[in-house]
Structure 1
């Protein structure tokens, strides 16, 4: 009962989301809604929440819901339409994932249409939304002011027309957190050398909240260091052509939204988090893992 009450409170300020969500809901005659209990973490986590709810909703013919205060709305051109009251969502059941990054196929199976559904979990697997990948990419379009700032940064650095490799270095809270082994400089050196050999005159655009570490270890003739805030850093990285990523969902999404080569740190996750993330459910098979 407690989970249902929490789920109901979650929807006190919600709306259906999507560039064509009204048409989709009407066309499929959706009358039930799919939401999420809790909303833990920062931007990358929230992107997984939204994308996975979209994918699950598409599979079971439910309309996904999201809070109007969700952080992804600060960054992306996602439309909010048709607010929903708590009264509408009182008839609700809670479904749970197996673990953080383990694809739970049962969530994609048809369900009894007599109730709304709230999913409990992190939903960190691309398999939830792989069938609607093109729609997800259309949702995660940068807001005009952020895009303008990124264009200004690229112009100032004189790299607008260069082949750009986004390099994300996650440190901060991961330095002391269990299950989040951090890559050493050698990982980045190996990844950068691979792309130097396969790309024509690339420039490595390094973003990190630990700017000193990035400057000390990744300052080269063919690299630039950029760090402003979460939204701009994310936009810079996703606007690059290729990706080198370390750990965490922020990194993951910057790689997913670029269409080139993605190289990831294979040491993440590590125990005890490893038991909750299946690498084949978390990393697309065409990404390249290095340690």
Structure 2
């Protein structure tokens, strides 16, 4: 790409992303065979991604028990991804109320909404196809999640999108071609990665644009509040109900998972690119760093 062809305004960026959406969008209802047979010996999530991988408890588990843990943990991740996409869609829709409906920027935001809606269907179909029970939010959790879009305004909308998208995207890119991964999960990751690349570009451009003009209090709020992303991602990776459903000793499993240095190293690796971007834009402070460190995303 030549310097003169690099998009600079938000509408130029949006035009480029719309063009990419036209050329490369997916429909999982047509592209994934949801009824395909699944190999009982293949993992639903690569073993290296599992919360108990490398622990003493892991060494005591049979191969089929490890596969079942992968089935439960991927069901938890996809179930929680559905509600995250829900909150992001609400934030995008609310922002559009104050924007020009004829602009390419709004048109791409609507295109992204379509992508995210299809992702929610895909995640739900995935949980159903692998025969897992979805991980539902409790009433207090649902009320808390419902409040999130109220804070998705201006800079915070794009920061929140990145916190929810970049870490998961990094993990999927690392493991999409894992030789022990169920094909149905690999196909889901492939579709999600292809479309999330545009969403991440859109969100990063939004952060860069807003951080230049946002008042100090807005930048301070975003630099503090993004630490909540560590808590949310932690719940996407670890839910004690997965251990219950696998028949594991729950308290001991949680203890070993929390102390699992392999798992923490993987989290640090997946957060590295986002951490650098947030640092470069002045969007990490002692509070958010404490939260990201508390949940294993920072050393």
TM-score (norm 2): 0.27
Q: Which has the higher helix share?
A: 2
TM-score (norm 1): 0.27
- Structure with higher RCO (Cα < 8 A, 6+ apart): 2
